[in-house]
Structure 1
Amino acid sequence: MSQTTNTILMIRPVNFRMNEQTAVNNYFQEDLNLKNTEINIKAQKEFDAFVDKLRAVGVQVIVEEDDKLMDTPDSIFPNNWVSFHENGDVGLYPMFAENRRKERRDEVFIRLESEGFKINNIIDYTSAEDEGLFLEGTGSLLLDRINSKAYCALSPRADEDLFIEFCEDFEYTPIVFTANQTVDGKRLPIYHTNVMMCLAEKFSVICLDSIDDKKERKLVIKNLKADGKAIIEISESQMHQFAGNMLQVQGHGGQRYLVMSQAAHESLTPKQVADIEKYCPILSSSLETIETCGGGSARCMMAEVFLPKA
């Protein structure tokens, strides 16, 4: 069992814009006051430059084009609808925004099989949408694959019962908590766990200040420490620069990299950078348009492929 992979799936956007359906509880989204066509062109440039940087260090990036007819503005964030596992299982997840449900496309599975990957079993949670219950993939679930633990910050997009069901199906121990951010003077749930927390092999980057309940905070710290993970804390303002939205991947020769946006990288203090670089180099890329309009960042754009080869 491995915590990191050298293969990721990314979806190149064709209709990227600010998604009005997700903006209701994604407080990271902002309106850029640009025409949607301009926004999409900027997002495509950021996407292509990001893919080039990943490939340059030896990360295998499988790029699938979005389908223009679908009108799926958030398709650039595939990790919310699918997860791929070492035993050949695939998780398919229920999405909060109706226009995001169209992102789930069989073409993606056909593409992965054409690349030599084996899909044995699809575990489909999407019927929960009929009951208004959601669990948005590895946006909502942070998987410690080696220690078989799953961390989940509950929100309108992460239902506790569904999370427990996932943990039973995939044999993970559930660690449940609530993470909040301040919006107009109120403490409101952060929409995805992977915005406030990143799990790498030997460390975690986490905004502990967002976990208001002291018992829950202690629970998270206790589990990370029990598994020997160093804790690198970030502030709430750094989290707003997407400093929690990072992913560790493998490049040439199994070299690990911590991937993040330029905004996230620039928000880190020299000590935080040094703490991360004790374990692996940082790879960052400018994702300004994607972050501002989409309210998601580098980690959200990468669906890790752990599937076995056929």
Structure 2
Amino acid sequence: MLEQRMPQQEKQKIQQNANCVVMVPPKEFAFNSQTAQDNEFQNQVVETTAEIRAAAMREFHSMVEQLRDVGVQVVVFDYPVGEIETPDAVFPNNWFSTTQGGALYTFPMACENRQHEVKVAALVETLKQANRPVFSQDSLISYLGQKAFLESTGVMVKDHISRTIYAALSQRCDREVLEDYAQRIGYNRVISFQTLLPSGKPIYHTNVMMAIGEEFCVICDEVIPEFERRFVIKSLAKDKQVISISIDQMNQFCGNILQLETGSGDKVIAMSQSAYDAFSPSQLTQLSSHGKLMPFDVKTIENIGGGSVRCMLGEIFLAAKS
């Protein structure tokens, strides 16, 4: 267990939930054999690539439409295709993050074909056209030279209000890079911990086992060793309603959910239909007290890509240009 306190910077009012997200169409979507080395959520299927991509695109467009219908701004980043295909581009939250102060950060990803997803200039222009301008940029991609990785909000689950980052350490979450990033953005607490799946491997991304909203947290705490688990839960329980999920529920992506806000400030909680169906009635009641539950059918993307609804949402905290 590591709790690292960072130097305190001048505080500003920080919002927990974004009211704008970037989503990337899955036009090159496919089973990614590189990420499958440590992502146990991925599955091979018999359908053709064309069939898989058509199904994934239907799921994507339905999700975009439903989010827009309730008042969440969705910026579709129809990225420029390069020479190397990027089958996981539909999961943009792993390569960038944004801050309320107008900054865009980019991150070192572990798999070579995922590194080609990073298209900063195109994203900045897309955000500018969406009235969400970037005012500064910073990057941790130089850590690739050390083979040290930090896959953004895939491996970091942030409590923005308390300026705390929770992170399960793994091949994709290097402690040194994690601490560096926290210091750059002025977050004064980093709580990192080990995890262990029944297979003996660690969780590949923290955001499949936990999610933090304004006043709640969902967490599969049984994968955290007991001596660290107590500390993590105690920290979360200080100001969050803690909703504990089982490994079976985690495998249905119950941890891969995200609280968002509409333009008018209403709370919504985005999740997959698989996750919704796996939550118990009492857990759904608890969650619905924190916002409108929005389940999306993304079974193709979940099954083949090994990521779910939260992974498909790149939060934009950049202020809208007045």
TM bucket, shorter chain: over 0.9
1:230 pairs with one of 241, 254, 271:
241
1:216 pairs with one of 208, 213, 228:
228
> Does 1:294 pair with 2:305?
yes
C-alpha contact 2:16 2:214 (8 A) present in aligned 1 = yes
> Does 1:87 pair with 2:101?
yes
SS at match of 2:201: strand
Q: Per-residue deviation at 1:252?
A: 4.8
**In structure 2, what is the Cα distance between the partners aligned to 1:159 and 1:68?**
29
Q: Per-residue deviation at 1:277?
A: 1.1
Percent of residue pairs bearing the same amino acid type: 37
| Structure 2 partner of 1:255 | 266
| Structure 1 partner of 2:174 | 159
SS at match of 1:222: helix
**In structure 1, what is the Cα distance between the partners aligned to 2:255 and 2:221?**
11
C-alpha contact 2:124 2:133 (8 A) present in aligned 1 = no
> Does 1:123 pair with 2:138?
yes
Alignment-mate amino acid for residue 259 of structure 1:
A
Q: Per-residue deviation at 1:222?
A: 1.5
C-alpha deviations, 1:106-154, integer Å up to 9, x for none?
2011110122223222121111112111000000111111110000000
Provide closer, same or farther for how the CA distance between residues 252 and 92 of structure 1 changes in structure 2, counting only shifts above 3 A.
Answer: closer
**In structure 1, what is the Cα distance between the partners aligned to 2:231 and 2:186?**
20
| Structure 2 partner of 1:102 | 116
Please give the TM-score of this superposition, normalised by the length of structure 1: 0.96
Equivalent runs, 1:1-310 vs 2, <5 Å: 1-69=14-82, 70-105=84-119, 106-172=121-187, 173-183=189-199, 187-211=200-224, 213-226=225-238, 228-310=239-321
C-alpha contact 1:14 1:68 (8 A) present in aligned 2 = no
Q: Which moved more, 1:196-205 or 1:170-179?
A: 170-179
C-alpha deviations, 1:235-258, integer Å up to 9, x for none?
000000000000001125211011
C-alpha contact 1:13 1:66 (8 A) present in aligned 2 = no
Q: Per-residue deviation at 1:159?
A: 0.4
Coordinate RMSD, CA, aligned: 1.1
**In structure 2, what is the Cα distance between the partners aligned to 1:128 and 1:34?**
37
C-alpha contact 1:13 1:65 (8 A) present in aligned 2 = no
SS at match of 2:248: helix
Q: Which moved more, 1:278-287 or 1:289-298?
A: 278-287
**In structure 1, what is the Cα distance between the partners aligned to 2:207 and 2:122?**
26
Q: Per-residue deviation at 1:67?
A: 3.1
Please give the TM-score of this superposition, normalised by the length of structure 2: 0.92
Unpaired segments of 5 or more residues in structure 1?
none
**In structure 2, what is the Cα distance between the partners aligned to 1:254 and 1:19?**
37
**In structure 2, what is the Cα distance between the partners aligned to 1:116 and 1:51?**
18
**In structure 2, what is the Cα distance between the partners aligned to 1:73 and 1:100?**
8
Q: Give the length in aligned residue pairs.
A: 305
**In structure 1, what is the Cα distance between the partners aligned to 2:262 and 2:103?**
24
SS at match of 2:264: helix
Alignment-mate amino acid for residue 264 of structure 1:
A
C-alpha deviations, 1:5-45, integer Å up to 9, x for none?
11000011211001111000001000012111211111001
Unpaired segments of 5 or more residues in structure 2?
1-13
C-alpha deviations, 1:31-76, integer Å up to 9, x for none?
0121112111110011011111111111110011133444110000
C-alpha contact 2:73 2:263 (8 A) present in aligned 1 = no
C-alpha contact 1:10 1:76 (8 A) present in aligned 2 = yes
**In structure 2, what is the Cα distance between the partners aligned to 1:30 and 1:13?**
17
